[in-house]
Amino acid sequence: MRNVDFTPLYRSAIGFDRLFNQMEKNFSNNNNAGYPPYNIEQQDENHYRITMAVAGFAEEQLDITQQQNILIVRGTREEQKTEREYLYQGIAERDFERKFQLADYVKVVGAQMENGLLHVELEREIPEEQKPRKIAINGNRLLESE
């Protein structure tokens, strides 16, 4: 199957663009596509939060890395030595790696665990030279040059 790189399309996104994330997910051959479940919320114009359900993982088993515009969250579990016989196993006990494509100027500012949920705080900080600026119209200057 062909690999399609949607990275250039992310440059025009503000924060997260679900359409491109969905298209990229559909083209990838990732067996862990739905694990672990997560939410992305926009708290205000420049602040975002990713919340991931990581029940069964301790803080030391999770690794959060930002490489340029990619946020990578990994969970690794230690091998359990005891064999268990499950009648039903609905809780996933497997390692995971989840990648999020971040828009330009979005950075991770913090992370915390609470009741089996991992909260990753993000902030979009546009450099001053990239922000729109108001240009004053000076009508007097035009008259002086005549």
CATH number for the domain that contains residue 34: 2.60.40.790
Q: Is 30 a residue whose pLDDT tops 70?
A: no
- What would the DSSP string read from start to end of 68-96? TTEEEEEE--PPP-S----S---S----E
Domain assignment of residue 53, yes or no: yes
Q: What is the pLDDT of residues 59-112, one digit of tens each?
A: 999 999 999 889 999 999 877 667 788 888 887 778 999 999 998 889 999 999
Count up the domains in the chain and report the number.
Answer: 1
Name the pTM for this structure: 0.65
β-bridge mates for residue 143, sequence order = none
Question: Is 94 a domain residue?
Answer: yes
Domain presence at residue 97: yes
Residue 142 lies in a domain: no
